[in-house]
Structure 1
């Protein structure tokens, strides 16, 4: 599957004018500027969900973005996180006055399970014969799951909560499918703006790492690292992702709109392209990314000049190898920085979070120090970035970010 690239023209430049980031590093620009410039990762918790390490949640004053206690109570933790991060992005962009015309695109998971109920069901079924267990299971589920509980699991309730709390009432879409959902949400939002179907959009996702239900599912799929922390390209002895709490939202806006209201853009989205390959086919993932890269039409530049790459690598062996093969096929040196080494893996929120970090690097001229040998030193702050996203399971995505004022010529 391939998707058309985002059209970009001088008349309809797409800017990132606000970022809302929450991670183990903290919340907002200052915390994530510090995370980018640090020589160590964000905090890592190796005990609460051992043997799986994760980047935990920071303390949040929910009242600052979700003032009504009733709203807070009716949301699941990942919905509170997403609604909070969305508010940070709106404030960062100074765009509260535009929420009535703002499109909303969400990359969402499937909701959170009632773990206490799950454990009680499993305990009640232990040791029963198969036929009796099936009957008992139906009885327990009929009495334990209420319609209201089921409705609380609907993924598009994050969009609903953002609309209720922050007043965002433009067109709304919710996408599911881990990393590629986040990439497609950005791609679709940028494409709509570039085509003149709106002037501003709020796009992003949220992921809570400290969930046994998800950790067990991901472990069953062979996706998680066990043991202590290591940067994503240094996990050969124990490959796998280290999940991290992530709430990541971006305000995307046409350059014309941003200039008209005097907003300072953080970065220009020069292109977004997504692909989906059969990873059991040899080279399929790297070839899919190469096709996406060709559609971005990056400036040629010098073949000896390193290309700055903000990698969405997870630490899982297969996608890491595919990304390495893709980058090697570009025929020019690259200067890698891995978002996952700094904040962890956040499924649907991963790609928006990487774009937020990239925009922060370009807007403030940041030069993140290397955390491992695979991250070559940067001679100077980059003026443009290639952001990669190779999904844990499948899905290849690329975005080209430029500093405001840079061109593709």
Structure 2
């Protein structure tokens, strides 16, 4: 079976605000996103907005036991359920499936700092590291950071209690979350599913990890496609705190409950090309055809800003979609790793629903692995 898969609900949170209207306004304005250049100098982040958590997470006890990345995700999931008109439909939510793309939670910074300091002078670094990890890390801390806790908290707070699965693995995880969700509805395995994830950029540990890999762009902010092209605009990404969830339904299921279709999500194509010169362009060529893209009038690129793959992606898009309006998602919300593909899909659905686009392509090229292409059209 290959049933049409419709987007019927959207929940978005980022430095641009919350809800699809705020993000469409930010996209069309084209202004630089809100950026914090002081807290983590010399690096900058695109911080989460001020949020009244009670609007989607009414119990303060639930709010307290979640870290920022979980609160963002649970809040965005609630927005998507509201948008789809199912927030108060307990029966539907009990059967609603859930797919989440997320990384891990925060670290014990004191323990990490002590281990890194001691590692410098350890006679046997391997043995020292093993001993410290076994003795210093608290099992309860580790268990509290598992990525599938986001799915668990969505179930607890919103009553979404169908089967759930969680994907980890940076940008590719978001692509695969959408790919599996769309394919299951299209194949007739399920009728409705909530898919998305969340990311908190305001964490010293993730900044350290990505700086060690050489992936971070330093302040000040420069547009994504300018990074690496000038000496004053270094390559790399600027992390953004963000969350995005989409409600996907079969056409028949949406019609039966009188739901408004915002857009149609066609096949999600993914790849894992070797990172050698020309491989990203070739991967996008193949994925473009697999996704069924014809002549999109808008392209939302999840380009990270990392060189040289961002320039290769930009050239490929210009060749594949001549004349299309191309925007980098990072110039609206920053880079959210696992959330890039879901956020791009949600924003594309919003463009289609608003009548601002007929066909939208979303590209996701991971900063070190994984590629994806999505197609959204009018329902």
Do both proteins adopt the same fold according to a TM-score greater than 0.5, normalized to the shorter chain?
Answer: yes
Which of 230, 246, 249 is equivalent to 1:250?
Answer: 246
Q: How many residues align?
A: 372
The residue aligned with 1:117 is 111
The residue aligned with 2:223 is 231
Residues 225 and 311 in structure 2, CA contact (< 8 A), matched pair in contact too: no
Per-residue deviation, residues 249-306 of structure 1 (Å, max 9, x unmatched): 11111111111111111111122111110012x311211121111112234x6xxxx7
Which of 314, 320, 332 is equivalent to 1:342?
Answer: 332
Deviates more, 1:140-149 or 1:62-71: 140-149
Q: How does 1:188-227 map to 2 (within 5 A)?
A: 188-227=180-219
Which of 263, 267, 273 is equivalent to 1:271?
Answer: 267
Residues 307 and 332 in structure 1, CA contact (< 8 A), matched pair in contact too: no
The residue aligned with 2:279 is 284
**In 1, Cα distance between the equivalents of 2:256 and 2:184?**
19
**Residue 84 of structure 2 is aligned to residue 74 of structure 1:** no
Which structure 1 residue ranges, 5 or more long, are not aligned? 1-6, 366-380, 405-409
Per-residue deviation, residues 43-85 of structure 1 (Å, max 9, x unmatched): 1111111111110111112222222222222222211211111
Which structure 2 residue ranges, 5 or more long, are not aligned? none
**In 1, Cα distance between the equivalents of 2:321 and 2:6?**
29
Q: How does 1:40-189 map to 2 (within 5 A)?
A: 40-96=31-87, 97=89, 98-122=92-116, 125=118, 128-131=121-124, 141-189=133-181
Residues 286 and 326 in structure 1, CA contact (< 8 A), matched pair in contact too: yes
Secondary structure of residue in 1 paired with 2:320: coil
When residues 140 and 362 of structure 1 are mapped into structure 2, their CA distance, relative to the original with a 3 A threshold, is same
Secondary structure of residue in 2 paired with 1:106: strand
**In 2, Cα distance between the equivalents of 1:127 and 1:397?**
40
**In 2, Cα distance between the equivalents of 1:135 and 1:394?**
31
The residue aligned with 1:394 is 369
Per-residue deviation, residues 143-167 of structure 1 (Å, max 9, x unmatched): 5422211211211111111111111
**In 2, Cα distance between the equivalents of 1:218 and 1:140?**
23
Residues 98 and 164 in structure 2, CA contact (< 8 A), matched pair in contact too: yes
Secondary structure of residue in 2 paired with 1:130: coil
**In 2, Cα distance between the equivalents of 1:390 and 1:138?**
35
The residue aligned with 1:308 is 298
**In 1, Cα distance between the equivalents of 2:335 and 2:120?**
37
Task: Calculate the aligned-residue CA RMSD, in Å.
Answer: 2.0
Shift of 1:333: 3.3
**In 2, Cα distance between the equivalents of 1:23 and 1:64?**
16
**In 2, Cα distance between the equivalents of 1:135 and 1:332?**
56
Residues 5 and 250 in structure 2, CA contact (< 8 A), matched pair in contact too: yes
Shift of 1:246: 0.8
Shift of 1:42: 2.3
Residues 292 and 375 in structure 2, CA contact (< 8 A), matched pair in contact too: no
Shift of 1:39: 3.3
Shift of 1:136: 6.9
Shift of 1:119: 2.6
Shift of 1:14: 0.7
- Relative to the length of structure 1, the TM-score reads 0.86
Shift of 1:108: 1.2
**In 2, Cα distance between the equivalents of 1:134 and 1:173?**
34
Per-residue deviation, residues 154-190 of structure 1 (Å, max 9, x unmatched): 1111111111111111121111111110011011001
Q: How does 1:6-45 map to 2 (within 5 A)?
A: 8=2, 12-45=3-36
Secondary structure of residue in 1 paired with 2:308: helix
**In 2, Cα distance between the equivalents of 1:152 and 1:127?**
29
